[in-house]
Amino acid sequence: MSKIASISPEIPISLLLILLLSLPFKGNSQTVNGERAILLKLKQHWGNPLSLQFWNSSTEPCKWPEILCSGVSVTQISLQKKDINGTIPPFICDLQNLTRIDLANNNIPGEFPTVLYNLPQSRQKYLCRPNSCGSWPICGVADAFSPYELLQWPKRPDSESITNLSNLEHLDLSRNDLMGKIPSDLLLLKNLSHLYLDSNRLSGEIPRSVESLKLVEIDLSGNALTGTIPEDFGKLQNLMDLSLYVNGLSGRIPMELTGLPHLTTLLLDDNRLSGSLPSEIMSWRSLTTLNLGSNKLSSKIPPSIGYLPNLIHLDLWENQFSSQIPPKFGHLRLTTLDLSSNHLTGRIPDEVKNLVDDSSFYNNPGLCVANPFLNHSYFRFNRSVRSDFGNSQTVNGERTILLKLKQHWGNPLSLQFWNSSSEHCKWPEIHCSGDSVTEISLHGENINGTIPPFICDLQNLTHIDLANNNIPGEFPTVLYNCSKLQYLDLSFNYFGGQIPEDIDRISRLQYLNLGVNTFAGKIPAAVGRFAELQTLFLDMNNFNGSFSPNIGNLSNLEFFRLDYNELFLQARIPSEFGRLKKLTYLWMKSTKLIGEIPESITNLSNLEYLDLSGNDLMGKIPSDLLLLKNLSSLHLYNNRLSGEIPRSVEALNLVEIDLSKNALTGTIPEDFGKLQNLTVLKLFENRLSGRIPMELTGLPYLSTLLLDDNRLSGSLPSEIISWKWLTILSLRRNELSSKIPPSIGYLTRLIDLDLSENQFSGQIPPEIGHLRLAFVNLSYNQLTGRIPDEVKNLVDDRNFYNNPGLCAANPFLNHRACYSKPPNSSRLSPRFLAMILVLGVALVLVALLIAFFVIQNYHRRKHARYLVTWKMTSFQRLQFTESRILSSLTENNLIGSGGSGKVYRIAINSSGDAVAVKKIWNNRKLDQKLEKEFLAEVQILGSIRHSNIVKLLCCLSSEESKLLVYEYMENRSLDRWLHGKRRSSAVSEYAYTTKVNQKIDVYSFGVVLLELATGREATDGDDEHTCLAEWAWRQLQDGNSIVDALDEGIKEPCYLDEMSSLFKLGIICTGTLPSTRPSMKEVLQILLRGGGPP
């Protein structure tokens, strides 16, 4: 018989159940030994690495740091950064309950490990490819294969597709050479939250049916996708980032997309989208980046764009937008604006032209300005070049050349408008100056042939755009004969070989884009001899030589891309680059850079965007780098930079900072708090220490904050409640302590929260349950107490793991019940514990009984003495007695006092319900007539039933005083919230007229609206005899501007319309005649419409 069975029968059965539930369940020792043998075999297969030193035959595998169990069975293996070099063996799947494998950041060779297909289907939730993902639950193989290693979707030996992975949450197959269609059922995976298929060669349509309602990010850019954007994308209510740029998508932008409330980034540029831009986009309140460039969008630019409060990047270049630029654009805080190459007309509004420079409006011949600015010298070529001849012979000759060009390319269907019966200057792909061809724009037209020499017979040709086609061969030196060529875009093709040493023979080039091809060898010195070059893109090629320091001679260069050339020979950043005084954008990501960042780079005073990430740079960040006042984006992540982050920051236009994955030390600069436009701050995987600066809480637009894997200490400031736009917060693997501030629960846009592996203590704030989190991790802390019901329903048990002090009301997975015995607690026998518990309960009951009788006797005597003098008149059904009220009129319950009496808050039952009691002192000279009038009026007020009037419950009177008992309302007076003062100044119409009717509450609400709009109090008019309502009416009657009447403390240009509407509605609600006032239902409808009164 067990010990439990021998417990005395006097012990309650509920206590017996508690003790039974607290006993641990013991697993099968055979399972433990079997899984330990598999893991030790795995360690041996990988050559017994030192990083797995705790794996031995004498300890339980569930206690090894890299292993997580459910019960006694292994469910997770986390081997990130363990210096593993061997392959993944088939016997790893002998761990039958394995749900997660994390092998990120190791040196595992070979192709995709298909041995993992042997995992039970229901367990394929977490799968990581080496060097491709972190500790999030993802299936990632981004950048994992050479371009010719993976040419189709990975398939299982039994031909089942990837869409069988029903628990898949994160899929990253970007930057490979995948071909064919996207599986039709891929977007039916209901747990999918992140999808990255960018930079492949996928074709066909995007699947139309979408049921992956948890999707937060979709990136299908840089493919050859066709068809329209699925309307079902409008169902993705959690979607934040949608990137479909550089494809062949057509049709309209679906109206359904305007219903995505959390969308922050929308990139649809370089497609064939047509139609208008929906005016309903004003619902994108979170949008920061909108790029629709290089499409065929038309009609007017909707003024509603001006109401997107967080928009900072807007690109609508190279479309067919017409009419005027909406002045509402002036409300935006834009750092990037490009409206060039459209059909815009009229005057550039003064509010808009001050936002950015002249290049934003280039190539809109119908635009004009009151005071012309700059010189229209953007990288788009100057269209003022005119033909020297315009006769019919020229027209026919150029049309013949173009038709010959079409025939040379095999008469592609995309050039269907090119025929001998129409004017070639009206063909969509052709632009003329006079009657002569100056531009050929064949972007994404599926051209496969080479570029013929006779293209230069078009003698006034200045612009050639052949990007995003399938053109093979070496660099087309036949273009040397195009003597007027200023703009050349050959990107996203199959050009190869070396760039010619004499490429500078195209001497007038202002724009040269050779990106995303297969050019090899070195970048010749001739590239540095383009005297007029403003834009140079050489990114994503196969260069295996070096780049010339002569690039520093390009004195007019504004945009330079050399990123993703990972075959380059190692090289330092030339100090000559410091001479590029006009440079605004510099991308050199993943270009095999070594050495230090030269100090000369701080001479680039016009620099806006700097990306040197993914290299092997060492040394300190130049001390003056953050003094560049035009800098808006800084990316130095994934290098070997050391030392402190520069303390002095004057780059106040910064929107993004990414210094992650370096070896930076010191503290986070307090000056970062000056960056009022900052939206993204990434400092993870460094060696930063100290506290999180309080100054960071003053960043109003911060959306992403990643500080994980550092040595930060101290507490998390409760002032983070000001981060209203924050969506991602990761503080994992630091030394942060103290309590988790409840204010996190008020960050309404937060969807990713990781506070794991710190020293947070105390209870989990239930406010976190208010959030719509897609990911949360609070594991490996020192949290205690009960897991709030609001929180545990968000995610699964792993997110609270290894907090020994936590418990749950209804235990799930590895967490104990709150009433069960915690691990390693007292070893007293269950019988002895039960006896102590029973004795303790008995003592408490005796004490309570004694106290009860003493208190009851006291109240009985006091009640008998006190009741004699009081008379009660009730107007409602009461849940209390008069003795309850009278006995509670103590100083402890006093909440206010005035000239005529005092106000008490009195609890009427054990549930905490309360009433408000106003004690009025009698005037002994009050005659009997006035006494009767008072009682009659109290009788009337007691009979009123109105949702906006506090109920009078009863009246108690004596010779000395009277008591009015009201329904108690929490949160004090509205005036206290509006004006922060102790006295009440809220004025109702009853106070002025002494007449009661159903429109009194409308009048009172109107006064509140006027207080909100003007900042004045209800009695604050022109003089002591004028109230606020009368003063507001007089403002209108005298013809004064409403704007002048508004509260200076909160009056901002972007909210003037809403504040003025509020002022007008307040005036209507305080009309002199009650019959002219709207009902409260009508007032509500006006406010919900967001506008003013009709």
**Residues facing 512 on adjacent strands:** 488, 536
Tokens of 847: 């004490």
481/1024 Cα distance (integer angstroms): 87
961/966 Cα distance (integer angstroms): 16
**Phi and psi angles of residue 895, each rounded to the nearest 5 degrees, phi first:** -120, -5
DSSP class of residue 491 equals: -
181/1072 Cα distance (integer angstroms): 70
Strand order in the sheet with 518-520: 472-473, 494-498, 518-520
What DSSP string runs through 922-949? PPTT--HHHHHHHHHHHHHHHH---TTS
Q: How far is CA 913 from CA 204, 908, 952, 967, in A?
A: 65, 6, 16, 10
DSSP class of residue 817 equals: B
Tokens of 189: 């995976």
Please answer whether residues 325 and 339 qualify as being in contact, where contact means their C-beta atoms are separated by less than 8 angstroms.
yes
Tokens of 581: 């005084």
First to last CA, the chain: 83
What DSSP string runs through 17-52? HHHHHHSPPP--HHHHHHHHHHHHHHHHHTT--GGG
List Cβ neighbours of 556 (8 Å cut-off, separation of 6 or more).
Answer: 510, 531, 532, 533, 534, 582
Please answer whether residues 108 and 130 qualify as being in contact, where contact means their C-beta atoms are separated by less than 8 angstroms.
yes
Please name the amino acid found at residue 602.
T
Which pairing describes strands 961-967 and 914-921: parallel, antiparallel, or unpaired?
antiparallel
Tokens of 769: 């349950």
Strand order in the sheet with 663-665: 571-572, 593-595, 616-619, 640-644, 663-665
Residues belonging to the binding site for ATP are 919
| Burial class of 483 by CB neighbour count within 10 A (0 to 12, 13 to 18, 19+) | middle
**Phi and psi angles of residue 38, each rounded to the nearest 5 degrees, phi first:** -65, -45
Axis crossing angle, helix 1056-1069 with helix 1000-1014, rounded to the nearest 10:
150
Please answer whether residues 216 and 136 qualify as being in contact, where contact means their C-beta atoms are separated by less than 8 angstroms.
no
Please answer whether residues 478 and 453 qualify as being in contact, where contact means their C-beta atoms are separated by less than 8 angstroms.
yes
What is the enclosing helix (H) or strand (E) of 511? Answer: strand 511-513
Q: How far is CA 314 from CA 334, 653, 1011, 1049, in A?
A: 7, 16, 37, 30
Please answer whether residues 919 and 889 qualify as being in contact, where contact means their C-beta atoms are separated by less than 8 angstroms.
yes
Residues belonging to the binding site are 919
**Phi and psi angles of residue 789, each rounded to the nearest 5 degrees, phi first:** -60, -35
The region that residue 410 occupies, defined by phi over 0 for left and psi between -120 and 50 for alpha, beta otherwise, is: left
**Phi and psi angles of residue 101, each rounded to the nearest 5 degrees, phi first:** -130, 120
Q: How far is CA 4 from CA 9, 11, 20, 823, 930, in A?
A: 11, 11, 8, 19, 77
3-state helix, strand, coil in the chain (%, to 5): 30, 20, 50
What is the enclosing helix (H) or strand (E) of 370? Answer: none
